[in-house]
Structure 1
Amino acid sequence: MKAATRYSHSFPKLACPGGQDGIIISTNKLNRVVNVDVENRRMTVESGVLVGDLINEAARNGLALSQTPNWWGLTVAGLLATGAHGSSLWGKGGAVHEYVVSMRIVTPATAEEGYAKVRSLSESDEELDAAKVSLGVLGVVSQVTFEVEPMFKRAITYVTKSDADLGDELIRFGKEHEFADLSWYPSQKKAAFRIDDRVPFNRPGDGLSNILAYRSAPSAQLTTIRGTEELREATRDAKGKCLDAQMDIRTAETSAYGFTNNGANFTGYPVIGQNNRLQSSGPCLDSKEDALLTVCPWDSRFQLAFYHDTTFTISLSNVSSFIKDVQKLVELEPRALCGVDLYEGFHLRYIKASSAYLGRTKDSVDFDILYYRSKDPLAPRLFEDILEEIEQIGLFKYGGLPHWGKNRNLAFNGVIKKYPNASKFVSVKRKYDPQGLFSNEWTDQILGLRKDATIMRDGCALEGLCICSEDRHCAPTKKYYCRPGKVYKEARVCAFEG
């Protein structure tokens, strides 16, 4: 069994019930705000409440949840299950689960107990550290109580500059600005620094986040964009990809990355507004029905948006070295990451170490990397080897922790060994669900309860199902062979030899 709401945003199979007879339990109607306690700064909601509804209801009561993901279409239970986050090294940090003070979760039980047991967890219960990032394997979350604070305003300014000193500058930037956030464009050798801090509530401004990627778009335009990218890949047109990336980045810069000063227009930095209006976005969720003339870019009815999302957090002590390794690869292959820049580059956010058993183990920077994925699983990508090497550098050379709701199979090989409190989590899982009713093959694999998630077969490295060890794991008939990495020699990647 698995709990889900409207749809799953998870790339791995977290929300898939096992076998052919599995059950999906809908939390779609668990969508109420249960209580808002202004005096004690607590807010209790049901698990199916969307982030956007949560922060806007808090705002109506003069309150704010300081950290959320950028996309407000996630449910409360879903974002907690996967460890979703905003960005901050200040206070409790960027992870949303750090602001959870209590939870109610329904778990399987014996016949004498009525087959279901409601467990209420508070900050005094150690088991809350298991439930805050649960992967959905403990049962069905029904209610969550967050610690909130009085509403505040933020001021946002983007500054774009060279990435020459990015490795050294990154840590300082995160410590100087409470909601610091970056977009790094490696092929352009520059980064957009989001200077994002609290300001006095009486500062004028009614700014709004309307992120470009979350807006409805004409379906015909999306079809053209996907068709162009597929053509660039098929013809190995790296120059064309770079020109497309340059144009997309200019568009983002001139449109202030979707921020407006008054909800309609961008008139200049800083953009000042209430936290709930700037922290998250998702306008295409509320777009009108127009016979699919416009849709969310990832609308599955069109199957246009199709990409990999490699996301891992690297400890602050290793981020400079990781960035320098990526920059070395760019020097060797200057056009290799234009395809990543087409997807808004590397998105960098800050997260603090957590007490959650499956939360981040150290103060870290999260690297979120989107890139082209073919609909043919046996079709290699342009600069396949560079992207695979970056993935392996982050995950294995520097011990990066993969985001639970993103990534390809290889990211989770042996991952549970990176968590010092993994045995405590598994112990709670066995106590709450001894029969494994809320587990599936995938969760057992990543928790180390059965063989890992590697799938060895012809072409398996192309989709990240394996790390290549033989040429057949790549695409030898298309001149892609298994080779060592260029910078990280221990890596094994699918390299084109034309």
Structure 2
Amino acid sequence: MGLVQVTLALQPLFKRSVTFMERDDDDLADQVTKFGYQHEFADIAWYPGIGRAVYRVDDRLPMNASGEGVLDFIGFRATPRLLIRTNRLAEELFERAGNGNGKCVTSRVTHAALSSAGYGLMRRSGGLFTGYPVVGPQHRMQASGGCITGPEDALLTACPWDPRVRGSSFFHQTTFSLPVSRAGAFVEEVRRLRDMNPKALCGVELYDGILIRYVKASTAHLGKPAAGGGQSDDMVDFDMTYYRSRDPNRARLFEDVLEEIEQMGVFKYGGLPHWGKNRNLAFVGAARKYPRIGEFLRIKDAYDPDGLFSSDWSDMMLGIGGRAPTRDAPGCALEGMCVCSQDAHCAPEQGYVCRPGKVYKDARVCTKV
């Protein structure tokens, strides 16, 4: 095997000025196609259940600009173990009781607390949020949480996702990229679905909403290709985190809504799945979405003929060897191992059966009846 040379492009240090600006989501479908071009480090956190969007106005400044700010995102800090367990228990109780209103109240309280604290922005390390804008060096503003430097205190505090903590976070993630030209229509359809039952999407707000980020189109073999392989079309990345039961056979509250959004983004709008965050069904046909996949596989075989850097999982997601990422089995849709085509793929004994989507009619989702 030959050596591979990698060239990194470095930049001089610089600072960033950050302001989080919140507004109604009425014009989000229009703004999502523009905002990423207006600010170098822009992103949007969408809270669909409460109809709000938080725009990150984030721009570059020279190093001689005044300010030594830091972003220490509250959700990524060392958290008291009791609070971690309490939050998880509350969500599990909401699920068991079918209490969507409880999730909505919790999401509003959580969002208000994060907003009033500037989401963890501080004018100096260890300080308090005192208002916008916050200016600080790139390496302190890009880093987003102090969990890794939390105290060694026998797990009195921990990262919220630490598996050593009984009752820590356990969740699904659905993340895909759409060309900018398709992003607005996707947002508008999600809003239509939300308007049918707003409390169905409060659950994602417990995990900081739907994060919308911007990615440049790329000619890399598995980069974000231009739409249709033609003229460059930059990408909008949609990232959703939501409750997952530790029992793989238990259906989720409002499962049909998130399944419809997942299928709408990946299949109707041709979203490119994030390689490390999705449920298996998001990878159905994924390799065909990359115009240079054939060239990538040839290079892969040449440089790694023994498959040292491959795994059964990566081969399956890339369609190598004819293995499919999904399977047909009872309950397979609950964990995203299939798109349901019969009631048995859901949880009929819990009242969840396979039905068409409400907005995306070609979707097949597990619906409570």
Are 1:390 and 2:252 an aligned pair? no
Q: CA deviation at 1:306?
A: 0.1
For 1:170-319, what aligned pairs fall within 5 Å after superposition?
Answer: 170-263=32-125, 264-303=127-166, 304-319=168-183
One-letter code of the match for 2:203? G
Are 1:443 and 2:305 an aligned pair? no
Task: Please give the secondary structure, in 2, of the residue aligned with 1:308.
Answer: strand
The answer on whether the counterparts of 2:2 and 2:303 sit within 8 Å (CA) in structure 1 is: no
Aligned-partner Cα distance in 1 for 2:178–2:205: 20
Aligned-partner Cα distance in 1 for 2:211–2:144: 16
Q: CA deviation at 1:233?
A: 0.2
Tell me which of 369, 374, 386 is aligned to 2:240. Answer: 369
The answer on whether the counterparts of 2:17 and 2:61 sit within 8 Å (CA) in structure 1 is: yes
Aligned-partner Cα distance in 2 for 1:328–1:164: 11
Task: Please give the secondary structure, in 2, of the residue aligned with 1:281.
Answer: coil
For 1:391-406, what aligned pairs fall within 5 Å after superposition?
Answer: 391-406=262-277
Are 1:381 and 2:265 an aligned pair? no
- Greater than 3 Å deviation, 4+ residue runs: none
Tell me which of 289, 312, 327 is aligned to 1:455. Answer: 327
Gaps of 5+ in 2: 227-233
Aligned-partner Cα distance in 2 for 1:273–1:226: 34
Q: CA deviation at 1:291?
A: 1.0
Q: CA deviation at 1:118?
A: 4.7
Q: CA deviation at 1:399?
A: 0.3
Aligned-partner Cα distance in 2 for 1:281–1:181: 14
Aligned-partner Cα distance in 1 for 2:122–2:328: 48
Aligned-partner Cα distance in 2 for 1:212–1:428: 43
Aligned-partner Cα distance in 1 for 2:15–2:51: 32
Comparing 158-167 with 257-266, greater Cα deviation is found at 257-266
The C-alpha deviation readout for 1:465-489, integer Å capped at 9, x for no partner, is: 0000010000000000000000000
One-letter code of the match for 1:206? E
Are 1:153 and 2:15 an aligned pair? yes
Are 1:487 and 2:359 an aligned pair? yes
Give 1:121's aligned residue: 5
Q: CA deviation at 1:146?
A: 2.0
Give 1:79's aligned residue: none
Give 2:288's aligned residue: 417
Q: CA deviation at 1:439?
A: 2.0
Q: CA deviation at 1:427?
A: 0.4
Aligned-partner Cα distance in 2 for 1:285–1:384: 33
Q: Under a length normalisation based on structure 2, what TM-score does the superposition of the two structures give?
A: 0.95
Aligned-partner Cα distance in 2 for 1:286–1:252: 21
The answer on whether the counterparts of 2:216 and 2:224 sit within 8 Å (CA) in structure 1 is: yes
Aligned-partner Cα distance in 1 for 2:202–2:294: 41
The C-alpha deviation readout for 1:391-438, integer Å capped at 9, x for no partner, is: 000001000000011100000011000000000110011101223233
The answer on whether the counterparts of 1:215 and 1:296 sit within 8 Å (CA) in structure 2 is: yes
Task: Please give the secondary structure, in 1, of the residue aligned with 2:182.
Answer: helix
Task: Please give the secondary structure, in 2, of the residue aligned with 1:230.
Answer: helix
Aligned-partner Cα distance in 2 for 1:302–1:201: 41
Give 1:65's aligned residue: none
Are 1:475 and 2:347 an aligned pair? yes
The C-alpha deviation readout for 1:72-95, integer Å capped at 9, x for no partner, is: xxxxxxxxxxxxxxxxxxxxxxxx
Q: Under a length normalisation based on structure 1, what TM-score does the superposition of the two structures give?
A: 0.71
For 1:325-364, what aligned pairs fall within 5 Å after superposition?
Answer: 325-362=189-226, 363-364=234-235
The answer on whether the counterparts of 2:33 and 2:181 sit within 8 Å (CA) in structure 1 is: no
The answer on whether the counterparts of 1:206 and 1:262 sit within 8 Å (CA) in structure 2 is: yes
**Alignment coverage as a number of residue pairs:** 359
Q: CA deviation at 1:286?
A: 1.4
One-letter code of the match for 2:115? E
The answer on whether the counterparts of 1:215 and 1:282 sit within 8 Å (CA) in structure 2 is: yes
The C-alpha deviation readout for 1:108-145, integer Å capped at 9, x for no partner, is: xxxxxxxxx451325xxxxxxxxxxxxxxxxxxxxxx4
Q: CA deviation at 1:458?
A: 0.8
Aligned-partner Cα distance in 2 for 1:227–1:282: 24
What percentage of aligned pairs have identical amino acids? 49
Q: RMSD value over aligned CA atoms? A: 1.0
The answer on whether the counterparts of 1:385 and 1:495 sit within 8 Å (CA) in structure 2 is: yes
The C-alpha deviation readout for 1:36-58, integer Å capped at 9, x for no partner, is: xxxxxxxxxxxxxxxxxxxxxxx
Comparing 212-221 with 446-455, greater Cα deviation is found at 446-455
Aligned-partner Cα distance in 1 for 2:314–2:65: 48
The C-alpha deviation readout for 1:206-257, integer Å capped at 9, x for no partner, is: 1001011210000011011100000000000111110000001101100101
Comparing 408-417 with 299-308, greater Cα deviation is found at 299-308
For 1:59-138, what aligned pairs fall within 5 Å after superposition?
Answer: 117-122=1-6
The answer on whether the counterparts of 1:414 and 1:452 sit within 8 Å (CA) in structure 2 is: no
Task: Please give the secondary structure, in 2, of the residue aligned with 1:460.
Answer: coil
Aligned-partner Cα distance in 2 for 1:460–1:296: 30
